[in-house]
Structure 1
Amino acid sequence: MTLHRFKTCATSFLAPFILAGVLAGVLAGLSACSGNEGANYEYDYPTVSSDKFQRQRLEELEGGDETVFGELSIGGPKKRGGAAAGEGFATVNYYLWRATLETLSLGPLESADPFGGVIITDWFTLEEEPGSQYRVTAYILGRQLRTDNIKIALYVRPKGTGKAKMDPHRASAVAEAKLENVILSKARTIRATQFK
């Protein structure tokens, strides 16, 4: 018998025993990791009364920290306290967003960006004023339900063709403020009726 043939025969004969030994070693190592079978672990879970939790939740809602996508916004969960609360991606107040969408639904939407807080309508005509067309751009600037977190840019152009149609101008500040107030009152109504 040649030496090469002897090595192959010995290797093929010992292979199952080597495999069984390696497998037994792995199983012994894994069983050693699962020790402390009789150990008792004590977990300390925080306890919160339901009244305290509801009061805390209402305070959060009144503070206006709700976002369009709730806790799972793109910026991650809300951070509490100090300068850290303003970090991350821009999020907007849920009630302002919803009220703005409902108010501006009288015209076709051209763009709505919930992360940047911008809603733009296309040109539309009101039944009360058939000779003019309007376009609204709404900016939701913050996470709280406050008057300074909604800004409206209202554009007007005469309905028609030619140069007049291409010459839009900004509406008066009074008209923009009225539209902002309509959106704010609708947002407050939505917030007030949400828990009834």
Structure 2
Amino acid sequence: MSVRILALVGSLRAGSHNRQLAEAAMKHAPEGVEITLYEGLAEVPFYNEDIDVEGSVPEAAARLRATAAAADALLLFSPEYNGTIPAVLKNAIDWLSRPHGAGALSGKPVAVVGTSYGQYGGVWAQDEARKAAGIAGAAVLTDVKLSIPGSVIRFAETHPADDSEVVEGLTGVIEQLSRAGAAAA
């Protein structure tokens, strides 16, 4: 049985370096680990309790919840927008946190990684993503980190999947997350 990890990318841009990092994770996932990149975060409406009603949850939000619930673990890829987590990623966490105490994130292992243009690689945003996921009920792997600075320069001509240092760090994160996912399954 393979461990299923769902990747959520906090950048909607097609050429996003965080999306490329998720692609690298899928390409270099160890045997027995299946990583799926979630498509469709842009279609999920902003969380609003008035529309989160059993039987009439917006289809895009229901699909996100079902996909996350079927995964053994989640790997969040977060750039840093104005020193914090991107709205699209925070919105996904909000939808996955409900219903309170029984959402798709409840007890699910979650790790957060990412790359950003700044000199610290988006650590503030990643810390905020860990905090939000933990409050939402996830079993956040707080010691599992990978922050890659200088994304615009570092990945100008090299895809993260072809950067041996990035691949080594990413593989370590995936191995730790997959162990936690297997234990939780």
Does TM, scored on the shorter chain, surpass 0.5?
Answer: no
Higher helix share: 1
Asked which structure has the greater CA Rg, the reply is 1
- Structure of greater relative contact order (alpha carbons < 8 Å, 6+ residues apart): 2
User: What range describes the TM-score normalised by the shorter chain of this pair?
Assistant: under 0.3
